[in-house]
Amino acid sequence: MKSCRIRLVAVWVAAGWTFLPGPVQAALWWHNAPAPARLGFLAHWESSAINGRFPVFRCLLETTSSDQPQALKVVIRTASLRFRSPLLERPARSAVWFDVKAFPQAVFSSHEIQPLGPGQYHAAGVLVLKGVRHEVSVRFHLTSPRPGFLLMTGTGQVRRQVFGIGNGVWQKSSMVGSRVVIHFRVGFVPGP
């Protein structure tokens, strides 16, 4: 009987099967819906808050069949940068700041998403912005308000100098703050 069990295990391993503590859940892919779709940031210029946003971006979310997030990828078109004051947009797109001609995309990707509580998650990943790769993490809340639809809201923080955002005299944080808060609200529907 013991040798039979050993042979069964050997066949199981040779076939490439693994031992899992429950049923395997198939991965599902979701992409951002047209609405809601908001990706913005908050910076500070001296004592004034500056709100910016990137209206053109694409998100891909991988979940289990029970809607547990497994991976997240966000691709941002940097030239879509907008501010409440259009006067800020042209200089912000220049080489000193986002350099959108040389770096038309920014990409965040995470394959390390950990639950923090019911519907709450922490995603550790890498942000590639202006040609610089740096570890960044975000926290988000994920709900399913109706069948076939997921809603993600969350925040994260970056230090702009790490990515070369604001070169030359703008590197110092005395005029423009170093810390930038990212905030997002994205709806997802099934599909790659």
For 32-69, how does the pLDDT look when each residue is reduced to its tens digit (9 = 90+)? 998 889 999 999 988 789 999 999 999 999 999 888 99
Separation between Cα atoms, residue 124 and residue 6, nearest integer Å: 40
Q: Is the pLDDT of residue 22 over 50?
A: no
pLDDT tier at 11 (50, 70, 90 boundaries)? very low
- The answer to whether residue 86 scores a pLDDT higher than 90 is no
What pLDDT is stored for residue 46 in this prediction?
Answer: 82
Which of 102, 94, 93 has its CA nearest to residue 130?
102
Neighbours of 62 (CB within 10 A): 17
Q: Region 164-179: what's the mean pLDDT?
A: 83
CA–CA separation, 93 and 80 (whole Å): 9
pLDDT at 35: 87
Site of tokens 């797109």? 93
Is the pLDDT at 18 greater than 60? The verdict is: no
Q: In this structure, what token pair is assigned to residue 127? A: 């942000």
Q: How far is CA 107 from CA 76, 132, 153, 176, 181, in A?
A: 6, 10, 18, 23, 17
Q: Do residues 175 and 166 lie in contact, with contact meaning Cβ atoms separated by under 8 Å?
A: no
Average pLDDT, the chain: 87
Q: Enumerate the β-bridge partners of residue 28.
A: 63
Residue 192 has pLDDT above 50, yes or no: yes
Q: What is the pLDDT of residue 4?
A: 40
Amino acid at 27: A
Q: What is the set of domains in the chain, with CATH numbers?
A: 22-190 (2.40.128.110)
Contact 107, 77 (CB under 8 A): no
pLDDT at residue 25, rounded to an integer: 54
Average pLDDT over residues 124-146: 97
> What pLDDT score does 165 carry?
93
- The dihedral built from the CA positions of residue 95, 163, 123 and 20, taken in this order, carries a sign that is positive
Q: How confident is the model at residue 87 (pLDDT cuts 50, 70, 90)?
A: confident
Dihedral sign for Cα 191, 60, 139, 52, please: negative
3-state helix, strand, coil in the chain (%, to 5): 15, 55, 30
Write down the pTM of the prediction: 0.83
Residues 6+ apart with CB under 8 A from 74: 39, 57, 58, 59, 60, 107, 108, 109
Residue 7 has pLDDT above 90, yes or no: no
Over residues 120-127, mean pLDDT? 98
% pLDDT > 90, the chain:
70
